[in-house]
Structure 1
Amino acid sequence: MIHLQHVTKEFAPKRGLFDVSFTVEPGMVFGFIGPNGAGKSTAIRQLMGLIQADSGHATIGGYDCWNQSQDVKRIVGYLPGEINLPGDFTGEQVLHLMQQLHQSKPERQSELLEQFPFETKTKIRKMSKGMKQKLALVGCFMKDAPVYLLDEPTSGLDPLMQERFLSLVDKERQRGKAILMSSHHFPEMEKSCDRAALIKEGRIIIEADIHELVRSSRKQYTIEFGLEAQAEQFALQIGSQRFQNHVSFFTSNERTLNQIIRLLTEYDVRAIQTSADDLEHVFLHYYSEEEPS
């Protein structure tokens, strides 16, 4: 449904997109993960036909994102990373305008407002960031489009609204929607995405099934020894650091881990702890590998 093929859009060295390719199928939530300035919003703007690529090709639903941008916009629900709406409009006026533009059902708008409530008669310029974000979410999803492009969708939302948003995304996925979601908020991506791509300086450094990414991450192990002298000896043995009677190390290699476990049979070990696998560890692991030595 969403296809980027070798898309490049260079603004400056290491700024833009460079040979980016990925596909989002119907019924899939695809996570685009990276820090600010990594190229996430540039990719989404390219898909919306807001900027033209230097090279490569992007389509949504078979429509060329640049040459057939009107057809693309017709089938896409878009949530931009920065919400810019007329300050003197009320939320109610904005939603009424969106309803007319998208010819959406009033019932869907009402359902979404129950999930993401705010005072619709408040003018945009008087709204908090959270209120504006809820207004934008309602406006985006009331379109009931087959494709959603969501740029930092939970920015400004409180934890309850974030959980409701994730439930909405899961419901839309089950309805067969293709959803591309960019974020640097790891827990929400881990909970909601099927696949993910990590992007740095405009280049995808890895793309995989979200659970495969987590399983392949480098994990931290902390070992508590009965004696501080043993901890010091073991730390020297494996080339790691010691804090009192604790030694910590990182590895994703099963062979290395088994060798360390065999070494531990010679010591008085009180406890072994491992860090919980999560997407943030994956992100930091791959980013640290990419840093120059």
Structure 2
Amino acid sequence: MPAIECRNLTKYYGDVRGVEDVSFAVEDGEVFGFLGPNGAGKTTAIRTLLGFLSPTSGGATLLGHDATDPVASRRARERVGFLPGDPGLDRDRTAGAFLDHQAALRGESSRDRLVDRFGLDESRRIGDLSRGNRQKVALVAAFMHDPDLLLLDEPTSGLDPLLQEEFAALVRERVDDGASVLLSSHVLGEVAALCDRVGVLREGHLVAVESVSDLRSRGGKQVRVRVAEDVARADFERRDVMNLRVGETVSFTWTGEYDALIDLLSGYSVLDLDVVDAPLEEAFMTFYDGDVPGPAGSGNGGRSAGTRVGDAPSNAAPADATADSGGGDR
């Protein structure tokens, strides 16, 4: 049974679409990335999965428990580590007091090790901590009971590069121990480094689910070529060429077959040639061109084009929410 199974999940705030007709599964031992800009619906989906929001329609299971049933959802959350996108921590408590409260709810088998690993001073008042140190508190709370499933919403926000690497290593360790992870982010490098598959959200719709390697290949290849002759720009103005720049060096993104690229360049005396993977950003942006799509695999555009799309502000999570979010949805 998948760690998460989401079936046509829909959440509307009145006439405002949070997510619509979202279906996907996160397999045991998988790191699944939710990819999309702020406002795409990532946080709405996660909070609905956790039972903090009631779906308008559709359903989901979390570790085999019905996410729409309050009793079953609470039972599932005992084995879940949750990191909100904007942890609403009690600023008057010390970090240690907050972690004591979380430990009473779910346990703290790895607390001391994680506190030491992230260099967290538990004696300090949360309100006196920097954004990065507050994020450390939330990370320790999410991981310290060795959960079977982690739901992480923009987990590296506020962390410096060294701590981002430490976080990535921690995720890999939990997966090696059998955990599954749903990770939402708009940081493409983070997704590429950690995730096995990604679901791309656009304005509340899941427009694609594919492997990171397939996502990367969608962006094509970045080509830089220097030739002996003057370049006729018209030679390169074709469907499989994007982002064309013609100068002393010709550069472009190639989305076609290699044989066609060789044929294109065969008309010139090539002095230098460099072909590399295009940045993941270019692949990601292919999902954000054109009309608003319907669910992945369908041609349905959902509600009418006049519907305002986005996420409503999040409600307060139940008392057992790890590092309860006080911020808005993304």
Percent sequence identity over matched residues? 37
1:86 correspondence with 2:90: yes
Instruction: Decide which of 132, 135, 138 is 2:137's aligned counterpart.
Output: 135
Count the aligned residue pairs: 284
Deviation track 1:186-224 (CA, whole Å, cap 9, x = no partner) reads 111111111111111011111112222213333332222
Q: Which amino acid aligns with 1:288?
A: D
Aligned partners of 2:203 and 2:292 also within 8 Å: no
User: In structure 1, how many angstroms separate the alpha carbons of the residues matched to 2:105 and 2:154?
Assistant: 24
Aligned partners of 2:92 and 2:126 also within 8 Å: yes
Alignment of 1:86-105 (within 5 A): 86-105=90-109
Query: How far is 1:12 from its partner?
Result: 6.6
Q: 1:11 to 1:82 in 2, by over 3 A?
A: same
- 1:86 match: secondary structure: coil
Q: Which residue of 2 aligns with 1:71?
A: 75
Aligned partners of 2:80 and 2:150 also within 8 Å: yes
Q: Which residue of 2 aligns with 1:287?
A: 288
Instruction: Decide which of 115, 118, 125 is 1:123's aligned counterpart.
Output: 125
Q: 1:280 to 1:16 in 2, by over 3 A?
A: same
Deviation track 1:248-269 (CA, whole Å, cap 9, x = no partner) reads 3333221xx4233223222122
Q: Which residue of 2 aligns with 1:247?
A: 250
1:271 correspondence with 2:272: yes
User: In structure 2, how many angstroms separate the alpha carbons of the residues matched to 1:268 and 1:14?
Assistant: 57
Q: 1:117 to 1:273 in 2, by over 3 A?
A: same
Query: How far is 1:242 from its partner?
Result: 4.1
Q: Which stretch shows the higher mean deviation, 151-160 or 183-192?
A: 183-192
Quote the RMSD (CA, aligned, Å).
1.9
Instruction: Decide which of 158, 161, 177 is 1:159's aligned counterpart.
Output: 161
Return 5+ residue gaps in structure 1 as ranges. none
Q: Which residue of 2 aligns with 1:238?
A: 236
Q: Which stretch shows the higher mean deviation, 218-227 or 85-94?
A: 218-227
Aligned partners of 1:16 and 1:202 also within 8 Å: yes
User: In structure 1, how many angstroms separate the alpha carbons of the residues matched to 2:77 and 2:217?
Assistant: 37
- 2:98 match: secondary structure: helix
Aligned partners of 1:8 and 1:54 also within 8 Å: yes
- 1:253 match: secondary structure: coil
> TM-score, normalising length from structure 2?
0.81
Query: How far is 1:51 from its partner?
Result: 0.8
Deviation track 1:70-118 (CA, whole Å, cap 9, x = no partner) reads 112222111111111111100011111211221222xx11111122112
User: In structure 2, how many angstroms separate the alpha carbons of the residues matched to 1:246 and 1:8?
Assistant: 49
User: In structure 2, how many angstroms separate the alpha carbons of the residues matched to 1:71 and 1:194?
Assistant: 27
User: In structure 1, how many angstroms separate the alpha carbons of the residues matched to 2:177 and 2:37?
Assistant: 30
Query: How far is 1:14 from its partner?
Result: 7.2
Aligned partners of 1:150 and 1:179 also within 8 Å: yes
Deviation track 1:26-71 (CA, whole Å, cap 9, x = no partner) reads 1110000000000000010001101111111111012111213211
Greater relative contact order structure (CA < 8 Å, 6+ sep): 2
User: In structure 2, how many angstroms separate the alpha carbons of the residues matched to 1:127 and 1:260?
Assistant: 54
- 2:267 match: secondary structure: coil
Q: Which stretch shows the higher mean deviation, 162-171 or 116-125?
A: 116-125
Q: Which stretch shows the higher mean deviation, 278-287 or 23-32?
A: 278-287
Q: 1:200 to 1:12 in 2, by over 3 A?
A: farther
Instruction: Decide which of 39, 52, 55 is 1:53's aligned counterpart.
Output: 55
The 4+ residue runs of structure 1 with deviation greater than 4 A are 289-292
Q: 1:168 to 1:290 in 2, by over 3 A?
A: farther
Return 5+ residue gaps in structure 2 as ranges. 239-243, 294-330
User: In structure 1, how many angstroms separate the alpha carbons of the residues matched to 2:170 and 2:103?
Assistant: 19
Considering fraction of residues, name the structure with more helix. 1
Q: 1:146 to 1:273 in 2, by over 3 A?
A: same
Instruction: Decide which of 33, 36, 40 is 2:35's aligned counterpart.
Output: 33
User: In structure 2, how many angstroms separate the alpha carbons of the residues matched to 1:55 and 1:183?
Assistant: 25
